[in-house]
Amino acid sequence: MNRVYLDNNATTPLLPEVFEAMRPYFFERFGNASSIHRQGQQARAAVEHAREQVADLLNCRPAEIVFTSGGTEGDNLALFGLLKPGDHVITSAVEHHAVLNACRRLEELGCPVTYLPVDGRAVVNPDDVRRALRRETKLVSIILANNETGVLQPVREIAKIAAEADVYFHSDAVQAAGKVPLDMKEMSCDLLTITGHKMHGPQGAGALYVRKGTLLQPLLYGGRHERSRRAGTENLPGIVGLGKAAEIAREGFAQGSVERMLELRDRLERCIVDRIEQVGLNSGGAPRVPNTANLYFDCIEGEAMVIALDLKGLSVSTGAACSSGAIEPSHVLTAMGLSADRARASIRFSLGKQNTTEDVEFALSLMPDVVSRLRELSPVWKSAVSR
Ligand SMILES: Cc1ncc(COP(=O)(O)O)c(C=O)c1O
C-alpha cells in the first residue's frame, strides 16, 4: 500500500546525508569528547564542528550553543535555569506543553506566571506583553511557530519590548528552525530552543541558544560538560546529526526548499477548502510557517478521521503528538476561540522536505470520500443537513 507521511510536526524522517554523517560516530569514531586520547579528540572536534553548524543556522557564536536532549530539555533549561522563586514570567496560552507544564511547576515553586490570551488567529498581541510587565518580571517566553497551527508569533516585536524593560526573552523555536530564518544578531533574544528531529535530524538531540552573559543554573549536576551548563557525556552521533541537519536547513533557504513546501501546502489547503463543504482553515489569516495546515471538518471527530486516513495509507494528526489520544480538545485551538466541537473536528497536515506533489495529490484523492463517509455516520451531520 502507498503510504504518505504528512505529520512532520510530530517528527521528520532523518535525511540520508544526516545519517551518513552520524554513522562513523557509532562505530570507529565512538570516543568520549572529554577523553584526551585520539578517539576523544576526534569526538571533541566533531562536537565543536556541530556547534559551529548550529551557530551558523542561528547566526550566533558557537560558544552560545548548549547541546541538549531536545526541545523539552531546552525549554526546561531556559525556564528553570533562569528563574528563582518570586520571579514573574510572561508566556502565552498557546505554548507547547514543554513550556506550559514547566510554567505550571514554576507556579508551584513560587514564580507567578501570566498566560497571555491570543486573538482569533491564535496570535499574541505585543501590547499585552507590555501591559503584563511587572517589577518582578524576569522572563518573557513566547513560542516562535506553533506546532498545531504553524502560526508565527510577532517575536521580534515582543523581544524588543522585553529588552526595553530589561527582561530576558526566550522563544521555543522548535517548529520554526529550518522553516524561517533565525538570526540571533538581529533578534533581541536571550534564549532560543531548537530540536533535531523537527528538521530532519535525529531524535534526542537539540540545542539551546544562550546569549553571551546570560547566567543559567544547570538542570543536571555532574561534570563540566557544555561549560557547566549541561552535565553528561555528549550524545555524539546525535550532536553530529543535529549539526548536519542544521547545515542542510541553512542551505535549504538558498535552494528554495521553503518555497516548494509553501506551494504544496497552499495547494493542499486550497483544494480541500474548494472540494469539501463545511471545512475551514484554522489561523488562515495569520503569518504561518510554510509546512503546516490545520483545518476543521464540521461534524467529524478528528481522531476518527486520523484513523480512517491511516487505514488508507495517510499519516496526519489531530494536533500535538503528545496530547493525541487525550479527550480534551486542543488548548491552542480553544484559546483562539474555536468551540470544543470544532477543535475536536480539526486535523493537522504538516509537510517535510521529503514530500512531493504526488503526496499532496494522494492526500487530496482520499479526503472527500473519507469525509463524506464519516459524515454519513454522524448523527450531528444528518440533523444539520436535514434542517
Ligand atoms: C513547539 C515544540 N516545542 C517543544 C517540543 C518538544 O521537543 P522534543 O520532542 O525534542 O522534546 C515540541 C515537540 O513536539 C514542539 O513542537
Ligand 1 centroid – CA 201 distance (Å)? 13
- Tell me the pLDDT tens digit for each residue of 297-318: 999 999 999 999 999 999 999 9
- Tell me the pLDDT tens digit for each residue of 121-136: 999 999 999 999 999 9
Of the candidates 163, 103, 83, the one whose C-alpha atom is nearest the C-alpha of residue 129 is 163
Pair 249, 57: CB distance under 8 Å = yes
147 lines ligand 1 (CB under 6 A): yes
Residue of 67, 99, 175 to mutate, ligand 1, most atoms within 8 A of C-beta: 175
Q: Which cell numbers in the block locate residue 380?
A: 450531528
172 lines ligand 1 (CB under 6 A): yes
Residue located via cell numbers 521553503:
258
238 lines ligand 1 (CB under 6 A): no
pLDDT at 178 over 80: yes
> Given the CA of residue 73, which atom of ligand 1 is nearest to it?
11
> Given the CA of residue 320, which atom of ligand 1 is nearest to it?
14
> Given the CA of residue 204, which atom of ligand 1 is nearest to it?
10
**Burial track 176-207 (b if 16+ CB lie within 10 A, e otherwise):** bbbbbebebeebbbbbbbbbbbbbbbbbbbbb
- How many angstroms from the chain centroid is the CA of residue 5? 17
- Name residue 210's beta-bridge partners: 191
Give the global pTM.
Answer: 0.97
pLDDT band (50, 70, 90) for residue 322: very low
